[in-house]
Amino acid sequence: MKPAGIMRRWNFTDYLYLAPSLILFICFIAYPILFVLYGSAFKWSTLANMSFVGFGNYETLSRDPVFWKTMLNTVYWMIITIFVQMIIGGAIAYAVEEHTTRLRAMFRTVFFLPVVTSVVVIAIVWNNMYAPYHGIIGYWLKQLGAVGQFNWLGDSSSAIFAVIAVNIWEWTGFSMLMYIAGLHDISPEIKEAAKIDGASGWRGIRHIYIPLLSSVHKSLILLGVIGSLQTFALVYSMTGGGPNHASEMPGTYIFRQGFVVQQMGYASAISVAVLALALILTVLQVLFLGSGNFFSERKRTA
């Protein structure tokens, strides 16, 4: 935002327009962040019986193998979901927008339906599809020649990846929509010029489309990082973080520590770790990829 040429005076009524947003921000975002920082220095289950432990919770956290498991799972989650969604979503957007004339609305809608469907519904449906013996996934794999039954969600080596696959199915439509918006910002002249220059097909994708969609890539990475850190519903309702913490994510671990075993102080410390990670990853991204995403002014490639 550039400063106005002339400094004008402070105006109370003008601030009133900002009041609702700022009040909500202070009460439900800023204050909770401060509170969770404060709460992480105590051992407590209710506000009435807090005992100060300093950095005690963080010391326990640093030696907690389950916490490190959630970090590893978060890394898997981020890397796999973000890139697979970008590739499939981008490919669908490209196919629909650049190579079809009819049925566009239908394709756009079909791939977006999982995004609008309730996560818990998705979880129950996929749980049944994954189920050994009666699940349709195992059945089809068997038809294709696979031997034996495999318990995708019940096996600790596959559980997290089985959930990640569902997450990709759920959110690819969102990536598609962002790429569709991005494709509409590339002017037809550029596309035409590229075709005339012989940069069609794969070469066109590599040299024209991928670079010109860079702000979409960045937005999706940013949203994907935050989305991974706030994963909860899918894991909670598909595996509950199990078996034996194999698919535990920070969200499910916070829930378990805070609301199941009532270790609010410890859960607060995990929350602070998640906040710190979100902050670090955002800063790193702005440093290395630039802020050419949400935060920049909209540029039309004209």
Partner 1 sequence: MKHRQFFWRKNWFWYVILFALAAVWIIPLVYMVSMSFRDTEQAFDPNLFAGPLTWKNYELVIKQNPLPRYFFNSLVVTIVSVLIVTLGASMAAFGLTRPGVRGKSLIYNLLLSSLMVPITALVIPLAQINSRLEWQNTYWGLIFPYAALGIPFGLVVIKGFMDNFPKELEEAATMDGCGSLRFFLAIVLPVLRPGLVVVVIWQFLTSWNEFFLALIVMTDKTMKTLPLVPMQYQGFYFSQPGALFAILVLLTVPTIVFYVLVQRNFIRGLLSGAVKG
For residue 299, how many other CB atoms are within 10 A of its CB? 9
- Round to whole Å and give the CA distance between 231 and 246: 15
**Of residues 49, 51, 63, 102, which one binds partner 1 by CB under 8 A?**
102
Should residue 105 be labelled a site residue for partner 1 when binding is judged by CB under 8 A? Answer: yes
The CA distances from residue 31 to 11, 123, 153, 269, 278, in Å, are 26, 33, 38, 16, 18
Instruction: Mark the segment that binds partner 1 (CB under 8 A) among 28-36, 53-61, 77-85, 154-162.
Output: 28-36
Contact with partner 1 (CB under 8 A): which of 48, 116, 196, 302?
116
Contact between 161 and partner 1 by CB under 8 A: the answer reads: no
Q: Is 201 in the site for partner 1 (CB under 8 A)?
A: no
Take residue 230 and report the two structure tokens written for it.
């706030």
| DSSP 8-state assignment for residue 28 | I
User: 186 pairs with which residues across the strands?
Assistant: 301
**Rounded CA gap, 256 and 251, in Å?**
9
- Decide if residue 261 touches partner 1 (CB under 8 A): no
Question: Residue 110 interacts with partner 1 (CB under 8 A)?
Answer: yes
Give dist(CA 40, CA 57) in Å, integer: 7
Select 58 or 232, whichever has its Cβ closest to partner 1.
232
**How many residues line the site for partner 1 (CB under 8 A)?**
109
CB of 119 to partner 1, least distance (A): 6
Does residue 251 belong to the site contacting partner 1 (CB under 8 A)? Answer: yes
Choosing from 45, 62, 117, 200, the residue that interacts with partner 1 (CB under 8 A) is 117
Binding flag, residue 96, partner 1 (CB under 8 A): yes
Judged by beta carbon, residue 138 or residue 204, the one nearer partner 1 is 138
Q: Candidates 185, 221, 242, 289: give the one binding partner 1 (CB under 8 A).
A: 185
What is the C-alpha separation between 72 and 96, in angstroms, rounded? 36
3-state secondary structure 220-281: HHHHHHHHHHCCCHHHHHHCCCCCCCCCCCHHHHHHHHHHHCCCHHHHHHHHHHHHHHHHHH
Element (H, E) at 43: strand 42-43
Least gap, CB of 167 to partner 1 (angstroms): 13
Q: Is 175 in the site for partner 1 (CB under 8 A)?
A: no
Rule CB under 8 A: say whether 187 interacts with partner 1: no
* Three state DSSP letters for 117-140: CCHHHHHHHHHHHHCCCCCHHHHH
CB of 186 to partner 1, least distance (A): 10
Nearer to partner 1, 147 or 157 (CB): 147
Question: Of 35 and 68, which has the nearer Cβ to partner 1?
Answer: 35
Which residue in 89, 182, 204, 241 binds partner 1 (CB under 8 A)? 182
Candidates 79-87, 129-137, 152-160, 199-207; binding stretch for partner 1 (CB under 8 A):
129-137
